Every structure is written in structure tokens, then in C-alpha cells.
Structure 1
């Protein structure tokens, strides 16, 4: 007997339930992957909304022009109204600095800033005892910052190491040593003048003795120096300017007034720079249109997913079935087998209904800052397709949207983002993002995500249960196959014995 063939054929029949379990597992995995693809689609839409129509900056985009860009540049940060102003620049903001009072190196000696301070002590004109320095400087806000302590180890660290510590600290200064002159320098990172006080304060005898620095930049600036030499210090300077007739100062050359950021570049003296802005209607229009396109693309893909045909006669292929097909045939079969995994899915259908409701609802109530003229999408030229086959696709009337942008871009921003404790009164984008977030969480409860284990979502638990069934069934098949082999082996031995006895009898009868 051909026992191998007999047992193989019998085991094929025995494996039919196991194959069905593998098919069921594959279907669960495909469904899980399709759910996660929908979650990614929704997350992409949510990010697109947040980065676009959810930001006020999207609706405050303006084209700002100045009569002399090389002297003053202006850009809009948060203003919802346009600008028309004049400005004269009297002085630019400058940083304070201070340098050593002469070379820090003994006459005739050479100091190497890359070697340890201890090894170079004898070459310094003046010594030091403390292993700590303290630096205080002007902050970005024009106010003196906190005193920053910096410690160092002379036996292990060089002057270059100390300079790196200073420059990388929160002290707000930049330090360097010039080997050619033997002088040390510190300058403030931030510009501006502190009225009645210094912009840089130093403590620690490494600075005030060995490196020959004054206690602060004001002392250094006031120090008398030999004729022809540069001052060893300078006070910070505020930017001084007159805007629309008002003379004022700022500690930096870049500052914000009424939502516009000004950057002063040159002193204009008595010359006046004019600044004007116009709403960038085209940029706002593009942002809203891009949202409409992205929304339509998203609901289109979800609609196609829940209406996709399910071909139930095309089940996942087993390894044997796949080997019997060509690569193209297997690919076409898989395409049919994967189709319709989320057909008529209740989670996605519910999400689509909520998203449509979010988009078509009215925003806010009277007196809450939302314009009565623009409290629905239709009022800015966005309506629903009349073709029911489009599944709630938005249709854009470009002329009407452009007119609304021209009339009141801030009202459109509020239409999308208005906040309220009552969800029904919230802006359309805010409602939409809440629905997306809720849907994503619901889908994750069913299909999980890459960070969840199978035990944490429904399909994962189903997959784990099937894996357990498969393992038990495979153990059972091993026992069945062993039994078949024992039975057929015993049968073959019995047949061989019977044949032997028959041959013996035939031999006896032949005499």
C-alpha cells in the first residue's frame, strides 16, 4: 500500500476545518487593517483642518508693503484688521559688550586656551582662586535676567572649556578669547538698554581678575582709555522710533504692535516710511478650497469603503491553493477576497452622518460674536451636492466665497472655530474635529493601533481566540495523523502476513 498517499489524502479532509479557521483569521486581519486605514484617513483630515482653517493665522493672511523694505519690514502676526501707518527710525537696538582691561597674558609669555587652566596659571598676568563664576545679563524682554552660576575644574578644564560653558548656558552672553591680542570679550545676546543699570554683570575672580574684566559693562564703558584705543565696554541701546506721531522705544529691533511684527533695519532720521496692508484674499480662498477638497476626498474614500462589494465566494487562499495559481491569478483573487471588509459598517456610517450634520448645522447664537451673515456654510458659498450618489460631497461657489472673504474674513474664521460649552453652538471645524476624535477612539476600540496588544481591542481578542483554536486543532491533527499511520502500518503488516500464509498454503497444495 502507498501509505504516504493514503494518509495525505485523509489528512486533507481532516484539515478542512483548520483551513476555515485560517481563512477566518485572515478576514479578521484584513478587516483590522482596513479599519486602521480609515483611522489614518480621519487623522490626516483632522491634522489638515488643524493646520489650515482651524488657525486664525489662516484668515489673517495679509500682504504688507513698506515704502522702504531695506529700512523697515512688517508682517502680520494676528491682526484681523488692515494697517496704514508711518514710522521714523531714530536709532537701532544694540547689544552691550565688554572686553579685558589689557592682555591677560604676562609679557613675554604664551598662553594656550586649549590646555588646562592649572597648567597655564603661571602665564596669566593675574591669578584666580575661585572655581565658580556668575553672569547676569539683559533678557529678551529688556529686563535684567537671573544670575547664572557656572562652575569649572581648573585641573581638568581649559579656558576654551569655560567659554563653551558660558556660551551654552542660560546666561545670555557670548564670550571669546582673542589669542592675537590676549584679550577676553563678553557681549549680550539680547539688545537693549536697562535704564540706570548695566546690561551685563560679572562675578568670580577668573573673570574679574585673571581675565581682567570689569564688574559690569557700564563700568567698562565709563573707563578712561588711552587716546586712539577702543572703549573696553559699551552700554546697550534701545531702538527708538516714531510711529504715527508717537515717539517710543523697544529693547529689540523686532517687536509687535497691534498684531503686526515690525523689524527695524536702518536709521531713517527725518525720513518717513509708510506701511500698508491688504487682506491676502487669494491665500484665504485657497485654504478654504483646500479644506473642501480634502473633506470631499475623505468622505469619498469612506463611502467607497462602506459600499464596496463583498464577494463571499472568494475566500482567502490557503498555501496549497496559492501555489496552484499564477502570481497574477492569486493577486486578482486576493483583490476580490479583500473587497467589502467594511461594507455597511455601522461605525463609519455613523461617522459620516455626524460629519454631514456638523458641516450643515448653524453656528452659535445671537450676541456670541458669530456674524449672523455667516453662521452657516451655505452663506459663504459651500453647499451639499444635490446628487445623492455623492454621499454628502461639498460643492463650492467660488464667487460667493471670494465675496465673503472680502467682506469679513474674521467672520469665516469664527464660523469654523467658534468655541462654546454647548457643542451645538460650536464652530464647524471644532465640531468636525470632535466627531473625528470620537470616531478614531471607537475604531481603536474595535481594531486597535500599532501600540495596542490584541487583548486591548475587539478584533485582537478575536484573533487571539482563533490562534488558540488553531493551536488546539493542530495538536489534534498530529494525534489523528499518528493514529492513521499506526492503523495503516498494522493493516499492511496484517496483509503481508496473510499473503505469506496464502503463499505457504498454495505451496503445500502443489505437492
Structure 2
């Protein structure tokens, strides 16, 4: 039981509070230490985020397509357009499209509903027997379609009384045949069509792309009046199916080429056919794309090293320690924000890991790259390190010179970054340095998914937490002792007051 100054007249709560403020000072230091460790951990992780982004860009700079991408233009884009890979040869390509690839389709020869009736495609077939013009042929049937190299797919379907017309057509559409089947209400006919263009079948079912035997598929041939072929007066059969053609085009006024689709890749150039007609496709180096890649990477590099230089050179502000939770209670949010801005200065001052990374990266831009290309140093293509020491190793681009070298010899520019054979390029070296730095920083500060005991700062935070808990237990004991001592004092004073009152009465 705590007695709060009734006998002595003293403010025991305040006295104990003041005494505990002194006792709590080491705990406040621990709390500030924990806050500082947390800030450092987050600062390191922010560094790693920037380094990781730069590393990903360095990875992209190792790809030849970053420097040798191609641009294409067409003299008649309504007939042919094109895209080109970095391996495509520059120059003009003549294309004359004489036939477009088309999808095969077949449909009912006439309206399916009986006179003065209308089919309900969603009702059961049994309920629609009077609405169909033709008898409904129940039972099973097969459809066969064809793919590349003559490979075929066959699916079976069952027509039962409880199914609707749309049920059967949906089963055909959802099968692995690569076809669409649907009932078109206004024309009162069923359409069935391939989902890919091209001619893949020249032998079975009169060469139909959607093949079936009318005698064994009476639901298609008789009920829906979709026929594979029609017998001619001379006894031959004519294919009813429409479309299913291959694309045909002449290349450079010499070679006639057939393609199942309306696109075809030749010598790294993919021609996309839009309609019949002629077009001249021009393929050239896409200098703008390469410029964007290189300048974007350099800008990101400069941004990262500016930030890292700022952090390792920033001095600590020793007049501002991290605030404790108690201190924050008496401050406004803006005051807290301004205080912490000062307290966070110099968190990574003179950090050796970051300084070493900056030094290594700066050297790598200077190093020669020994390849079969005509360039061995970045200065030869217009990229140099700033001569102003305040820039901390930032890179400066002479855009006119870089554009000229990319136009003249993009392959040699590429080799500077990507290397050749066993020779590492600039991008390889930078990526290696960045990767090692990221790992080193992770050993110090971990990452969001890391367990605290697996990295240095995390272990330090765990230790501080343990110390704070133990010290808090000790403070609780000290506070109890103070209250016990003051309570005993109050009881003694109260007893003396009682005895004094009795003596006064006796007198």
C-alpha cells in the first residue's frame, strides 16, 4: 500500500517522480541508442534499394539490344509493317503481298427455324423440336482440326435432348479444337470458324480446316445444315468451307513465300501483313533508343553517387540526440519532424563499405576494355568523369559525340559495356561491384524479410531490447523501494503525531 504525504504534507508523488527521472536516465540513453540503430538500419536499406535499382540497369546494359536496337519504317503501312531484332541487317526490303492468310469458316446453308416458328437457342433441344425446320439428329459426332506440320486434333460431342443448342455450340467452342461456334439470331444460322488463320489440311475432308463426315455427323450436316462439301453434277465434290488460306507474298521481287499467318520472320525482320499490296521496309539503327538507354543509366548512376557522397560526407549534429517517447509527448508534430531531421544527419558518415564502393565504381569508368571493337575507353565515345572534385565522380555525356559513335559503330559501343569473350565490359564490372556492396550492406542491415538475428544491426537492436527490459524491471523494483521507504516515513510521522496529540490532551 502506498501512502502519499497525508502525515508529512509532502508531495510524495512528485518526489518519487523526480527521483525516478534520475534513475531512468540510463534507460533513456538505451531508447535513444535503439532509435539510432533503427535509423541506421533504414538508411542502409535505402542505400541498398538505390544500389539494387542501379544494378538492374547495369544488367540491362549488358544486353546487346540496348545498343543495337533497330527501327523500321514502311512506305505503305496499310499493306505491310515490320519489326526488327538487333541482328537484322540494315537496308531496304521489298515485299509484295498477293494473298492474305484467312481463317476458315462454315455456316448453315439456310435459316434453321421452321415456318412461323423461332428457335430458342437456350431451351432444351427436346422442347425445340417443333421450332427447328429440320429434324433434330441426336447422338454423337466428331470434328477434326489441323495445326502446324499437319498435326490434327479430334474431339467428340454428344447431342442429347436435355441440352440446348447453345450448350452444344459452347462445348465445341470450349474444346481444344481452336474453333468458335455460335448461333446468329438475326440470320437464323449457325457459324463455325477457326480461331487461327492458315491452310493446314490439303488431304482429308476435301481439304477442310474444320473437318467432319456428314454421314456420321448428322446434327451438323442435317439439323444445322452445315456441309463439308457439295456434290457436283459431274460426280465430284466441292468444298463448302470458306477461307482457310495461307498468306502469299513476294520478297525482293524474287522469292515467293507462303505463310500460315499474316506475319513472317526473315533475316531478323518480322513482316506484318495488313492487306494485299506492295511496300518497302527500311531497317536502320535505332540511335534514339540506344541514347535513351545510355543516358538513362548515366543519370541514374549520377543520382546514386550524389546521394551516397552526401551521406558519407555529412557530419553528425551532436546537439540533437534522438527523442524519447516521453520527450515527444510535450512537442508538436512539426517540432518533432524538424528535430529528427537534425538528429538523423551523419548516420552513415565515413562508412567504409559505401566509400569503397564509390572508389571502385569511379575507377571502373576509367579502365580500358580490351575487345575487338575500335573503342577501349568511354572517353572515346563521349562519356567522361567530371573534372570538378565537388561532383564526386559524376559522369558527363557529350551527346553529339555519343550519338555520332552510335551511328557509326554501335557494335563497338556495345562491346565497351558488354565486353567480349572472357573480357568484362564496364557494365559487368559495375554490376559485380554493386552486387558485392549490396551483400555487404545486407550483412550490416539486412532487408525487410530478414530475421533480426541474421544481421549486425538487428543483433544490436535485440541486445538493446534485452537490456531495456532488464533495466525496466530494475526500475520497477527501485520505484517500489522508494514508495516503501516514504510509506514507512509517513507511518512513523503519523505515529509521532498521534503520540504528540495524546500528550497534549494529558497536559
State the TM-score, normalized to the length of structure 1: 0.83
Equivalent residues of 2:138, 2:161 under 8 A apart? no
SS at match of 1:247: strand
What is the correspondence of 1:155-304 to structure 2 with a 5 Å cutoff? 158-164=164-170, 166-167=172-173, 170-194=176-200, 196-197=202-203, 198=207, 200-202=209-211, 208-212=217-221, 220=228, 232-244=240-252, 245-268=254-277, 272-304=278-310
Residue 99 of structure 1, aligned match among 82, 104, 107: 107
TM-aligned CA deviation for residue 27 of structure 1? 1.0
For 1:381, the equivalent position in structure 2 comes to 382
Equivalent residues of 1:66, 1:275 under 8 A apart? yes
TM-aligned CA deviation for residue 438 of structure 1? 3.2
SS at match of 2:139: coil
Equivalent residues of 2:208, 2:241 under 8 A apart? no
Q: Aligned equivalents of 1:169 and 1:437: distance in 2?
A: 49
Q: Aligned equivalents of 1:81 and 1:441: distance in 2?
A: 42
TM-aligned CA deviation for residue 411 of structure 1? 2.3
For 1:494, the equivalent position in structure 2 comes to 492
Q: Aligned equivalents of 1:419 and 1:169: distance in 2?
A: 50
Residue 21 of structure 1, aligned match among 25, 30, 34: 30
For 2:337, the equivalent position in structure 1 comes to 331
Equivalent residues of 2:139, 2:160 under 8 A apart? no
For 1:476, the equivalent position in structure 2 comes to 474
Unaligned 5+ runs, structure 2? 1-9
TM-aligned CA deviation for residue 335 of structure 1? 0.9
SS at match of 2:496: helix
Q: Aligned equivalents of 1:436 and 1:213: distance in 2?
A: 72
Q: For the structure 1 residues 485 and 129, does the alpha-carbon distance in structure 2 shift closer, same or farther, using more than 3 Å as the test?
A: farther
2:137 matches 1:127: yes
Equivalent residues of 1:256, 1:262 under 8 A apart? yes
For 2:53, the equivalent position in structure 1 comes to 44
Equivalent residues of 2:112, 2:189 under 8 A apart? yes
Residue 442 of structure 1, aligned match among 440, 443, 462: 440
SS at match of 1:374: coil
SS at match of 2:257: strand
Unaligned 5+ runs, structure 1? none
Q: For the structure 1 residues 103 and 379, does the alpha-carbon distance in structure 2 shift closer, same or farther, using more than 3 Å as the test?
A: same
TM-aligned CA deviation for residue 297 of structure 1? 0.9
Equivalent residues of 2:199, 2:209 under 8 A apart? no
Q: Aligned equivalents of 1:93 and 1:497: distance in 2?
A: 112
Q: Aligned equivalents of 1:154 and 1:444: distance in 2?
A: 66
TM-aligned CA deviation for residue 4 of structure 1? 0.7
TM-aligned CA deviation for residue 491 of structure 1? 1.1
State the TM-score, normalized to the length of structure 2: 0.84
Q: For the structure 1 residues 122 and 488, does the alpha-carbon distance in structure 2 shift closer, same or farther, using more than 3 Å as the test?
A: farther
2:91 matches 1:83: yes
Equivalences, count: 486
TM-aligned CA deviation for residue 435 of structure 1? 3.0
- Per-residue CA deviations over 1:291-336 (Å, capped at 9, x if unaligned) read 2111111111111122221123421111232234444433222111
2:73 matches 1:65: yes
Aligned CA-pair RMSD = 3.4
